[in-house]
Amino acid sequence: MHNVRVQFTIPNVEKVANLDIHVNGEQRSLKFRVETFAWDSDNGSSEDLVNILRDRIQNYDSEWEIYHIGAPQENTIPVTFRFKTNEN
């Protein structure tokens, strides 16, 4: 399977972003979810914070897979998950 990454902003998404796309003339539906995790860089080393984030991602809902980890903003870090599908 090939991956194509297109970055765009979807304002005010609080739960799930459902996207319908066309690939080779075939319509596909994708679901994305953005979660923000606490990231207090004043209370721990970078290694400690990475370990905390890793634990939260590994214990996240198994129907979702990690798609992208964003840059930390203030005291949070955004993580985008993609709903797993059986498509190849």
- Segment 83-88 mean pLDDT: 71
Domain boundaries, the chain: 17-83
Helix (H) or strand (E) holding 48: helix 46-58
Q: How far apart are CA 50 and CA 19, in angstroms?
A: 30
- Segment 63-82 mean pLDDT: 88
Please report the pLDDT score of residue 12 as a whole number.
67
* pLDDT of 88 strictly over 50: no
Buried (b) or exposed (e) across 28-47, using 16+ Cβ within 10 A?
eeebbbbeebebeeeeeeee
Amino acid type, 88? N
pLDDT tens figures, 24-57: 899 988 898 888 888 777 767 778 888 888 988 8
Please report the pLDDT score of residue 83 as a whole number.
93
How open is the CA angle 8-13-19, to the nearest 5 degrees? 55
